[in-house]
Structure 1
Amino acid sequence: MGLEKKFEQYIKNVCKRIKNKDVHASIKLELRDHLYTLKEEAVSAGMSEEEAVNQALDQIGDAAILGMQLHETHKTQVDFKTILLVLATCLFGLFVMYYFQFHSHLLHFQDTNIFYKSLIYYVFGLALMLGLFAFDYRRFLPYSWHLYIGTIGMLILTMMIGTRVNGILFLSLNNGSINLTEIFPFLMIISLAGIYQSWNWKNGFKSWLGLAIVTLPIILLHIVGSLSATITFMVICITMMYVSHARMRLLIPFTAAGIVYLIVQLFSLYQADMAHFYQYSLHEFSSNGFQINPYALYDVHTDWMLTYIIYSFGWFAGLAVLMLFVTLIYRVVHTAKRVQSAYGKILMIGLATTFAAKFILSIFTNFGLLPISGVSMPFMSYGGSHILLEMMSVGLLMSIYRRKQLGEICREVA
């Protein structure tokens, strides 16, 4: 066997015993560097190349023993606490769907099969979550710009040829349609995390370019007419810019502009007398005889999920839902602080911000404080696309947690 091949065979034997393949590339680089350093030291001391190679292998230790030690050190990590929080929230949502269909006073739900449909969504979402947990999220990084441009292009295409159903813009395909405004923030988070992970905010030109990168999709979402998606995405952008160390003199005006935009949009809704469609606060749901407006009646399993939970199961149940979400978001943010990869950290914070923004908008809408429609409660409201996307987001969170001690992707992994 050639002298160089001895090192490669040794490294291969070590990696055979390490089941976590995510660390193979970094361990190979580290072992190779260490072996060649020992070899050069031995050659400098007067040994022949063959003797130096053999001594280097002896000094570093038996491949089987070292492999088992590294296997114990780099075992796959699973964030069971976050998984349990998500599953508890999903089970609560599934229970409410069961109650809707089989025990609710709302008779029009009894023929909709929303419980069985929700069960299918959750099962399929769980499969996607496990798939993304196994997938190395760092493989998205080289395609960040491609994903950004492609997502913007898809939204523009939807604006050109899409059709509106109940005010929501869909991109029609041969076998169905896609609610791109639901998918858009999820795809943009993945792309922006990759773009911003090494962005130079100290450079004047790049600072303005970084701002333009998020301004364009916000403008497009506004043109599409999805206020809830626009607000959610705006909050996501502000958070991701802050985590990526954007300058405060750029971030503060951008945030102020977002607040002004929100005030103007809400004022316009009230002026247009649209608020009455959505301001059905808790006392209306809790009145005797369940007197609610028909507009709210048919959206109670989507937009008005929190209101119905409190009406049917009491304030303690509503508080329990609130605590589940607060704990989940805190858990994700706390974990993000320990992630070594800048890409993983920004991506994790972006996903946590999505959950937080959607939940806060849902609370404000349910209490009649915001006249916004189409705000689903994460993991709980009825719907296929948002449940699948949220479970996929959890899969990405699990993938990041599994590799939180690893840096950016190595050349051998790419």
Structure 2
Amino acid sequence: MSLINNSKITNYINDVCSYIKYKESHYEIKEELISHIEDIYDEYIEQGESTNTALNKAITRMGNSQEVGTNLNIAHKGSPDWITLILTLILVNTGVIFMYFMKSNNLLENSNILFHNTLKTSVIGTLLIIFLFYFDYRNLKKYSTHIFIVSTIVIILFSYMLNEIAPNSIVLVGDTFRQIIFITPYLFIICLCGIFDKIDFKNKYEVIRLLLICPIPLFLFIKSGCITPLLIYALGFIVILSSYKIKKRFIIAPIVFIASLTLGLIIIQPYRFHKLKAFMYFKNDPTGFGYQNNIMNNILNSITPLGHGFSKNDLLLCNGHKELILNCIIHSLGWIGLIIIISLVTSLIIRLIIIKKYINDSYGRLLICSISSIFIFKIIFNILMNLNLLPILGVSMPFISYGVPENLFNMLSIGLVLSVYRRRSLSLPLQNSK
């Protein structure tokens, strides 16, 4: 029997909710309490009690409204994940401090501008994290297709600019276009989480539609000539696919397909092929494609526990403030500095993996899994790249490397993670919770 409109039930539930500070959880709590009361009420009716007596006994059995509300308030706090937030802010400020030392020692051209850009990025990114913490991430789900379309337009537009305009312009313009392309995998992965969560895998037409749209970003990244975004998107896509109970062959097939595309992209582009060859035999080409790898090798061979400080003559890596910043940290701060950085990023990875188990909403879990996979890939690849164990592919160290658009999206991703964690106790879709 439905008791939703009963005044006694309504008053009891409203009294319970008055002790629960996190208002976003009220709807779900009301639904749960009504369900429990109805079950108890039906039990008393079967025992032969009158409707009024059964209702009163059901409410009494639920317990004192203040006590129930206080306990539920503890369970539905809506508090942030302080560990993730603190680790993120430490890493962000590490990047700011390192850029400050680079500016103070005049290690880079335009170092003053780069430092102020980094400082502004950290402030804006922190505000973005705070905003997204209060923003309900479930709002994104209904706009997943729209985000996919916008992301597609962005990559088409900036790929054209990168290939047609940037070659005839200054280096900074091409770098800006490239950085914007590098943030599109985040957008594609976020919208795929919503698309996958809404799809009915028993409906063959929906599956066909999914198969048609998922490869689009891959071909766009190939067209733009950007391998790193392709790999990030591919990894996120495979993680999302693996989150569902799908036969292994449907997961292996995309992996083989993506690996073939990546290999083909390397082979058909002589520049990338020569860079890969130079990485494997960098000692044979110390002044050409293997120059960077030889410098990195010299830095690693001359490392000391506390480093050599900030020396302009020795710091010759052209991307020492970007993807090769760990090499500069190794040179300047030694093994101890490197171990501290690796410990911080490893702690962040572990924390992102751990908090997934606290999330009740399937869409929220999918978001955390896919965002975590991006960070894990970038962190591990960047560390191995800086240790000369992988070729230089432009994979930056999240939060520490210089890059305004990319770091803003790194912090946006953390903001989404905190938004999901805040609503970890909720499991109903947004349209059912209002």
Normalised by the length of structure 2, the TM-score is: 0.80
Answering whether residue 118 of structure 2 is matched by residue 126 of structure 1, we say no
Q: Cα offset for 1:161?
A: 6.8
1:67 is paired with a residue whose SS is: helix
Task: Label 1:261 to 1:410 Cα distance change in 2 as closer, same or farther (>3 A).
Answer: closer
In the alignment, which of 93, 96, 99 is matched to residue 95 of structure 2? 93
Please give the residue correspondences for 1:3-402 in structure 2 after superposition, counting only pairs within 5 Å: 4-40=6-42, 50=52, 52-103=54-105, 106=107, 108-110=109-111, 112-159=112-159, 163-164=165-166, 166=171, 168=174, 180-197=180-197, 199=199, 209-267=209-267, 268-269=269-270, 273=274, 276=288, 279-281=291-293, 282-285=296-299, 290=313, 296-297=317-318, 299-368=319-388, 372-402=392-422
C-alpha separation in 1, matches of 2:266 and 2:383:
16
Change (3 A) 1:59 1:369: closer
**RMSD across aligned positions (CA):** 3.3
Q: What CA distance in whole angstroms lies between the structure 1 residues aligned with 2:408 and 2:78?
A: 25
Distance in 1 of aligned mates of 2:5 and 2:262: 68
Q: Which letter maps to 1:190?
A: I
Distance 1:220 1:190 in 2: 17
Deviation for aligned residue 1:187 = 1.4
Secondary structure, aligned partner of 2:214 = helix
Q: For residues 247-292 of structure 1, what are the alpha-carbon distances to aligned partners after superposition, in whole Å with 9 as ceiling and x for unaligned?
A: 2112213212323333333444457645645751323457798467
Q: C-alpha separation between the residues in 2 aligned to 1:324 and 1:25? A: 38
Q: Using a 3 Å threshold, how does the CA distance of structure 1 residues 355 and 16 change in structure 2: closer, same or farther?
A: same
CA distances 1:164-222 after superposition (whole Å, capped 9, x unpaired): 36484867xxxxxx954133111112111122236555777766654443211111111
| d(CA) in 2 for partners of 1:278, 1:306 | 18
- For the structure 1 residues 325 and 217, does the alpha-carbon distance in structure 2 shift closer, same or farther, using more than 3 Å as the test? same
> Kindly tell me: are residues 76 and 357 of structure 1, through their superposed partners in 2, closer, same or farther at Cα, counting changes over 3 Å?
same
Which stretch shifts more, 207-216 or 39-48?
Answer: 39-48
Deviation at 1:41, TM superposition (A): 5.1
CA contact 1:266–1:371 (8 Å) conserved in 2 = no
Q: TM-score normalized by structure 1?
A: 0.84
| Contact 2:22–2:73, Cα closer than 8 Å, also in 1 | yes
Q: Which runs of 5+ in 1 are unaligned?
A: 172-177
Q: Distance in 1 between matches of 2:207 and 2:8?
A: 50
Query: Given residue 280 of structure 1, which amino acid in structure 2 is its aligned partner?
Result: Q
| SS at 1:245 equivalent | coil
Shift in Å, 1:379: 0.5
Shift of 1:95: 1.6
Secondary structure, counterpart of 1:405 in structure 2: coil
- Flag structure 2 segments of 5+ consecutive residues without an equivalent: 279-287, 303-310
CA distance in 2 between partners of 1:285 and 1:241 (Å): 41
State the alpha-carbon separation in 2 of the partners of residues 192 and 125 from structure 1.
24
- In structure 1, C-alpha distance between the alignment counterparts of 2:312 and 2:432, rounded to whole Å: 66
Q: Structure 1 residue 383: deviation in Å?
A: 2.1
Shift of 1:71: 1.1
Q: Distance in 2 between matches of 1:257 and 1:404?
A: 35
Measured at CA, do residues 42 and 235 of structure 1 come closer, stay the same or move farther in structure 2, by a change above 3 Å?
closer
State the Cα distance separating 1:141 from its structure 2 match. Answer: 2.2
Alpha-carbon offset, residue 310 of structure 1: 0.9
Q: Do the aligned partners of residues 369 and 190 (structure 1) sit closer, same or farther apart at CA in structure 2, a change above 3 Å counting?
A: same
Alpha carbons of structure 1 residues 180 and 337: separation in structure 2 relative to 1, 3 Å: same
Identity fraction in percent: 29
Q: Letter of the aligned partner of 1:386 in structure 2? A: E
* Letter of the structure 1 residue corresponding to residue 364 of structure 2: G
Q: 1:320 to 1:211 in 2, by over 3 A?
A: farther
> In structure 1, how many angstroms separate the alpha carbons of the residues matched to 2:223 and 2:258?
15
- Aligned CA distance change for structure 1 residues 315 and 46 (closer, same or farther; 3 Å): closer
Segment of structure 1 superposing worse, 68-77 or 184-193: 68-77
